[in-house]
Structure 1
Amino acid sequence: MEDAAKQFLAHHARKVGSSQPERREKKVEEIQGYSQGYQPQLPQQPQLPQQTQLPQRPQPFAPDAAFARPSRSKGVELASAVMCPMRQGSTVSEEYVFEGGKLGEGSFGQVCVVTQKLTGQKRACKRVAIQSETDRRLVDTEVQLLKRLDHGNIMRLSECFVDGTCLFLISELCEGGTLLQGFARHGSERAAAVAIRQVLSATAYCHGRGVIHRDLKPDNVLYASKAPNSAVKVIDFGLADFLQRLRTAAGGQPMERAGTLAFMAPEMLTAVGDGSYGEKVDVWAIGCILYLLITGQHPFWPGRGTSDQQVMQLIRNAQLPPHRNFAAAPPGARELTMHLMAKDPLRRLGAAEALRHPWLQAEQASGEQVLDKTVFDGLCKYQASSKLKRAVLKLLAKEADEERVKKLREQFAALDAKQDGYLTRDDLLNGMRQCPEFGAVTSLDLARLLPLELFGERISCTDFTAALLARQGFGKAELLAAFRRFDVRREGKISLAALSEILKNAGPASKLEAFREADIGQDGAIDFDEFCALINA
């Protein structure tokens, strides 16, 4: 697999060097060709050998689930003005230093590296030019989705700046390059399984919230760092939306096509039926990615000079071409690829179901044991803290550098049995029983350690990270940056009125109690020193 990735990148580099491929703009309706010159070479062999036909599924699939909202938990909810502010009174250059050079391009924006002046943390900055109402709608949708999504394998959005007709999105920086670039450095069967499992986990999380990405491809999956065990992040939600909203907008007419042509599913290109499609178009795209990792070549892009109509016909036929690398790949990898790329969406695996495939389960089981007693001690201490302290820790966890929270996210993933972005009480109970100190713990013991009225039934990835990050401590610059976020009224302090705007799911009595705990001087305001004392207590 490593050789396949290296061969693909070398081949692609030679093509770019000899003749820059045509670049085409993304459109909302129908994307014609690749947006970034993505043109692997494919052997001209039209049929899949008989021995590699799609295996029979043990049971039929249910239709696509309707838009579903997850049940509520007791986690702290912070106002958007704190967790991801939209700044209109200041320019991005007041807060960040541009490092120069272009890092990459999104669906309709350029990305570069910036450094936050206060903390010195490096971030990615995506500049989007708003030229039409369609542009504004797409950007608004992307921002609103990223604000709501909380998963360790989805890029974190930090804040936004509005400057005339341009919008600057500040997000975490992924320095490991695209999926194929990282895979070329240290690709292997295990690396492929790790990457695909993480992409599926992020996708299953989105689908569980009714969100469909519609543009999954290797360029939209980045390695967080260049380390061999780096996590991957799904980026570029510029074409994502709520599936229910897309269907409603179609009004019984064919749904709009969106994405990159070579990764579109057959049902998105068919002229048969009502022209609708579901969340499994994302799963098809992940299948294309896995085939590419295995072979180094795209299944439906024969090479330069191929027309869009030819590519569309190959996708509609949905026949995986034979390839010696695919034939030599582990049986589990081949089987999963074909299940992800079943032509009929009802026979195609869903993202959550694909996570249970033995090939991915074997990879997960082979990972190192990352749980210990301190995980549960940290959760207990976090839940016993005031709402204000938990709110601040949640913001600090969201803004922390990936390297700092990497181990914590691994611990969360080890506990998250369903890989749905939440820990249930059963997840915690099973995790505790893996530790020698908690081997005989019962559900009643857990209820005493983490009372239902404080903890709720589930905990999010950010809440989990916040609980354990508190043990590491924070620098003055980090705390000052957080304090300024909480100072929503720009008063140089946090008043009770300001706190009432910040804590969304706390009642008046709870807010007053949290305020009084932090207002050590009892002067009706929380200053920076009191803020630091609360967090470091």
Structure 2
Amino acid sequence: MGQCYGKTIPTTDNDTIVQPQSPLPSSANNAVKHTPARSSSPWSSPYPHGIASPLPAGVSPSPARSSTPGRRFFKRPFPPPSPAKHIKASLARRFGHAKQPREGPIPEDGAPIEPELHSLDKNFGYNKNFGAKYELGKEIGRGHFGHTCHARGKKGDLKDHALAVKIISKLKMTTAISIEDVRREVKILRALSGHKHLIHFYDACEDANNVYIVMELCEGGELLDRILSRGGRYTEADAKLIIVQILSVVAFCHLQGVVHRDLKPENFLFMSKSEDADMKLIDFGLSDFIRPEERLNDIVGSAYYVAPEVLHRSYSLEADIWSIGVISYILLCGSRPFWARTESGIFRAVLRADPNFDDIPWPSVSPEGKDFVKRLLNKDYRKRMSAAQALTHPWLSSENHPIPLDILIYKLVKSYLHASPFKRAALKALSKALTEDELVYLRAQFMLLEPNKDGRVSLDNFRMALMRNATDAMKESRVPDILNAMAPLSYRKMDFEEFCAAAISTYQLEALETWEQIGSTAFEYFEQEGNRTVSVEELARELNVGPTAHTILKEWIRSDGKLSLLGYTKFLHGVTLRSTSNTRH
């Protein structure tokens, strides 16, 4: 989403969705990015009638800050996607007139495009002694917004250490947004620490011309290069090793309240050329801090990996999970799940098309492997697994890896604590119908809370579990604030049985092929222990809906005044009320 480095090939967008089985994207030629729109304009549909591109006016593309070389050759080249015209206009708006595309910007709504050349504060407050501390070497990567070089420390703890330095030109910082992007990237890199698969940040410096971000050097190349060197795909066994590393570091970021927003094979680097080298997640140029209940509205990411809800301008951590699903799909079959010749065509495919799991090599992929990818690529973000949940999926059960604390548990328990007794009874019945596969995840999360000697947990257990995992990023994103909404646990405790009821997601269970059986079994428990006579008016209050919904709710209630099986499953599902109160504009 943003600019394309390859030659633009004129195409006519005829609304055709080209299905997968296309060659893999090159790392730079097809990396298209968008940046925060910083716009509060509503957008009810991503594809208004008569508009070729799905992106609304005012979307700003991001500086493609990548350590990837800008030119690359592949055995199976294909035409790069052609950027939509108004994306070019937004690019000019973001970066002013510095290095305009050859065709020039196309103003939107007839408005002239003026760069913000005056009153821009480009003083970041970083160290001014870069030359005294580091010696620059050869260039190892280049993007639109800067380039990356080898470096070596001259003094202190980093003396004679091989390093990587990302150099961002201040000349290209021609808008306040582009300056803020750099500040936020450094802030996130400083705040995040302590994970083996996260790029290690050392220092940030500046001078009159550039900002310098000093990081550890990864000499093993990109994950994309490894995929291509293997003929385009991994074996299931080898793919698991890669996916576990990706899930582990993303789960860590999500717990800290950081959403990456640009997960793709180009942003995972290997530490060395060794086949078993560890991977590191890089490039936090599009990342942001996010509060537990917050939703973002800026369209960011790379087109092939962008989640549907990002295009709808309302998303949270689950957008990263979709991107991991796309990476997993590519690892297992060597093709992208969504592909088209134009950027708008890619977006249509993301929103409307289903990934192909029928063509070769999918018939030879294990059922567990296919289920894993499908549960990450669910278009309903509520039905996707979290990163921590995915690590407990049966497909990865043979891998020896720790299960991290999941912020999703806190969100679900908070909702349970504020639910009515009737809703809690329905959830308790549902928890009794869970299979062993679901209980693996819940047991792991319960144990991470370190239950008391009586086998129960209180608010203190939830608080201490967060503190054991806290970084400065967690404080910046105000993750601990969710504990304030869990106050009822300060004067009572929760055993494992109730924890299971509190920490399950009906939406996620609905995505399982066994949902009908789970729902039927749960209803049997509900009939025995929780079902009671309920009026339409009371049910409406429970679901926070008005009288207009009464006709529908009547269908959920049997002749004896109690919920039917249909009513029970619908009641668990709840009614989604669209609200923009938590959306960042």
What TM-score, normalized to structure 2?
0.48
1:171 and 2:215 correspond: yes
1:299 aligns to what? 337
Partner SS, residue 97 of structure 1: strand
Partner residue of 2:190 out of 147, 150, 154:
147
1:82 aligns to what? none
- Asked if structure 2 preserves the Cα contact closer than 8 Å seen for 1:288 and 1:341, the reply is yes
For 2:301 and 2:71, the matched residues in 1 are separated by 14
1:314 aligns to what? 349
Partner residue of 1:202 out of 239, 244, 249:
249
Per-residue CA shift, 1:300-334, capped at 9, x if unaligned?
Answer: 124xxx12221111000140024312232232221
Q: 1:216 to 1:301 in 2, by over 3 A?
A: same
Q: 1:153 to 1:120 in 2, by over 3 A?
A: same
Partner residue of 1:359 out of 395, 410, 417:
395
1:134 and 2:177 correspond: yes
1:469-480 paired onto structure 2 within 5 Å: none
Q: 1:307 to 1:89 in 2, by over 3 A?
A: closer
1:285 and 2:316 correspond: no
Per-residue CA shift, 1:158-194, capped at 9, x if unaligned?
Answer: 0011112421000011111111223455743232111
Q: 1:154 to 1:23 in 2, by over 3 A?
A: closer
- Asked if structure 1 preserves the Cα contact closer than 8 Å seen for 2:267 and 2:283, the reply is yes
For 2:259 and 2:244, the matched residues in 1 are separated by 17
For 2:283 and 2:466, the matched residues in 1 are separated by 31
Partner SS, residue 335 of structure 2: coil
The Cα shift of 1:283 comes to 0.2
1:317-328 paired onto structure 2 within 5 Å: 317-321=352-356, 322-328=358-364
1:93-242 paired onto structure 2 within 5 Å: 93-105=131-143, 108-118=145-155, 119-130=159-170, 131=173, 132-150=175-193, 151-184=195-228, 187-242=234-289
Q: 1:87 to 1:266 in 2, by over 3 A?
A: closer
- Asked if structure 1 preserves the Cα contact closer than 8 Å seen for 2:36 and 2:298, the reply is yes
2:128 aligns to what? 89
Per-residue CA shift, 1:206-250, capped at 9, x if unaligned?
Answer: 1112211111111111112111111111111111112239958x7
Partner SS, residue 244 of structure 1: coil
- Stretches of structure 2 that go unaligned for 5 or more consecutive residues are 1-19, 38-58, 65-69, 79-123, 403-441, 455-463, 472-585
For 1:419 and 1:190, the matched residues in 2 are separated by 24
Runs of 4+ in 1 over 3 A off after TM superposition: 10-13, 20-42, 183-188, 244-248, 417-420, 423-427, 455-462
- Asked if structure 2 preserves the Cα contact closer than 8 Å seen for 1:210 and 1:244, the reply is yes
Partner SS, residue 239 of structure 1: coil
For 1:224 and 1:176, the matched residues in 2 are separated by 5
- Asked if structure 1 preserves the Cα contact closer than 8 Å seen for 2:197 and 2:245, the reply is yes
- Asked if structure 1 preserves the Cα contact closer than 8 Å seen for 2:218 and 2:272, the reply is yes
Partner residue of 2:298 out of 237, 256, 271:
256
- Asked if structure 2 preserves the Cα contact closer than 8 Å seen for 1:23 and 1:34, the reply is no
For 1:329 and 1:23, the matched residues in 2 are separated by 28
Q: 1:418 to 1:174 in 2, by over 3 A?
A: farther
Higher relative contact order (CA 8 A, sep 6+): 1
For 2:163 and 2:292, the matched residues in 1 are separated by 31
- Asked if structure 1 preserves the Cα contact closer than 8 Å seen for 2:372 and 2:395, the reply is yes
The Cα shift of 1:337 comes to 0.6
Per-residue CA shift, 1:286-309, capped at 9, x if unaligned?
Answer: 00001111111111124xxx1222
Q: 1:21 to 1:260 in 2, by over 3 A?
A: closer
Q: 1:313 to 1:22 in 2, by over 3 A?
A: closer
Amino acid across the alignment from 1:180: L
Q: 1:86 to 1:460 in 2, by over 3 A?
A: farther
For 2:229 and 2:443, the matched residues in 1 are separated by 30
Amino acid across the alignment from 2:167: R
Amino acid across the alignment from 1:162: E
Per-residue CA shift, 1:251-302, capped at 9, x if unaligned?
Answer: xxxx1101111111111123xxxx3111100000000001111111111124
For 1:112 and 1:124, the matched residues in 2 are separated by 6
- Stretches of structure 1 that go unaligned for 5 or more consecutive residues are 1-7, 43-84, 368-416, 428-441, 444-454, 463-537
2:56 aligns to what? none
Q: 1:298 to 1:41 in 2, by over 3 A?
A: farther
Per-residue CA shift, 1:327-358, capped at 9, x if unaligned?
Answer: 32232221111100001111111111111112
Higher helix share: 1
For 1:325 and 1:32, the matched residues in 2 are separated by 35
CA RMSD after TM alignment? 4.2
For 1:96 and 1:34, the matched residues in 2 are separated by 25
For 2:348 and 2:244, the matched residues in 1 are separated by 29
Amino acid across the alignment from 2:248: S
Matched residue count: 320
Amino acid across the alignment from 1:241: D
1:363-374 paired onto structure 2 within 5 Å: 363-364=399-400
For 2:146 and 2:339, the matched residues in 1 are separated by 25
Q: 1:425 to 1:310 in 2, by over 3 A?
A: closer
Q: 1:223 to 1:349 in 2, by over 3 A?
A: same
| Identity percentage of aligned residues | 27
Amino acid across the alignment from 1:202: V
For 2:339 and 2:62, the matched residues in 1 are separated by 10
Partner residue of 1:332 out of 365, 368, 373:
368
Amino acid across the alignment from 2:187: Q
The Cα shift of 1:129 comes to 2.1
Partner residue of 1:349 out of 376, 385, 391:
385
Amino acid across the alignment from 2:154: K
Q: 1:456 to 1:314 in 2, by over 3 A?
A: closer
Amino acid across the alignment from 1:337: V
The Cα shift of 1:196 comes to 1.0
